[in-house]
Amino acid sequence: MSEVDLDVIASRIRDASDVFLFTHEFADGDALGSMVALTLYLQAMGKSVHAFVPGKIQSVYRFLATDELLNTMSAAQATAHISVAHVTCISADAADVDRLGEWKPLFLSGAERLVIDHHDTNAGFGEVFAINGSASSCCEILFDLFNVINPRLIDARIASALYSGLVADTGSFQYANTKALSLVHGAQLIELGALPDEISRSIYESKPYGSLRLMAASVVASRLMYRGQVVVSYVTRNMLADSGALDEDTEGITDELRRIAETKVVVLFKEASDGSIKVSLRGKYGFDVKRIATKFGGGGHLLAAGCTIRSELGEAEVRILAELDRYLGPSRI
């Protein structure tokens, strides 16, 4: 879906006084950058703001002050507050309402619900939405939105949060979703105070040791299929325990696997703590992985998508490979 109406969103935000912010589970750099940027920007507008991120927040993004700015209100406090106040709820970077995780009921309780996103599978689950599937990141849409509302409020901290999301979702401006405008926006954010070297060092050179051990284990466990066109790997609960890593430390494994020459698809099966299987899909050379994810109720982008399958790991693999057979089979060798 592509439906961009920043003027309407901007008007709703100007009128709001009490705002709750939401993003998707397993929040990545774009999601966290969006949450931090929105929190700081709305505070600069004089709003009361609380941001809710499901699950644990990746430690590499603490340089954005995630500990101080996000999840500062308990579920009980938030539920009590929203029941008596006129709260505007804003979802950013979530392709559908279920991706809000444990905070979904809170979002749906809002007096009005706004959605800002760059996933073209987003059907617009709020009353008002700004969805641009051609944008590289949600942070890029937010930068446009902030410029519509009041560009003078964008300070160095907000610029850094937006730049972090832009860098994370474009793979440091390497992926196919990088447009000329993405580079222009990046340059503008640097002029506003974002420091590329510090941000890149924080994101890419500050990983816990356990995350590197986990990545190594996942690379060792990988195998090539479909005449070398697909690389498949896993992150099991045992692998997490053995490496001393956390669920949040799976970020970056698919990026490492996609470096393999001549592969078109990366499939990473991750055992979640609730017993479900999280499937991360990455495409190269234009191979559409979104069509696979949507078959299982997931979504995402052409070259980066995911879904959740509630089954044993083996069954989830069988189902995903059966779908890959349609495009790359019949031989899985």
Q: What is the pLDDT of residues 177-204, one digit of tens each?
A: 999 999 999 999 999 999 999 999 999 9
pLDDT tens profile 155-181: 999 999 999 999 999 999 999 999 999
**Cis preceding-peptide flag for 330 (omega within 30 of 0):** yes
Please report, in angstroms and rounded to a whole number, the separation of the first and last CA atoms in the chain.
36
Rounded (to 5) percent helix, strand, coil in the chain: 45, 15, 35
Distance, CA of 24 to CA of 37 (rounded, Å): 16
Domains and CATH numbers, the chain: 6-204 (3.90.1640.10), 209-328 (3.10.310.30)
Q: Is the pLDDT of residue 5 over 80?
A: no
CA angle 23, 283, 321 (to 5 degrees): 100
Asked if the model's pLDDT at residue 140 lies above 60, the reply is yes
Q: 330 pLDDT exceeds 90?
A: no
| Mean pLDDT over the full length of the chain | 95
CA-CA distance, 97 to 25, in Å (whole number)? Answer: 11
Q: Kindly state the DSSP code that residue 298 receives in the 8-state scheme.
A: -
Question: How far apart (Å, rounded) are the C-alpha atoms in residues 248 and 276?
Answer: 16
Q: What is the dihedral of CA 144, 150, 156, 160, to 10 degrees?
A: -20
pTM of the model: 0.92
- Greatest Cα-to-Cα distance within the chain, rounded to the nearest angstrom: 60
Binning pLDDT at 50, 70 and 90, where does residue 329 land? confident
- When pLDDT is cut at 50, 70 and 90, the band that residue 1 belongs to is very low
Q: Which residue has the tokens 């390497």?
A: 174
Contact 20, 110 (CB under 8 A): yes
Structure confidence by residue, pLDDT tens digits, 20-78? 999 999 899 999 999 999 999 999 999 999 999 999 898 999 999 999 999 999 999 99
Q: What is the sign of the dihedral through the CA atoms of 240, 244, 248 and 254?
A: negative
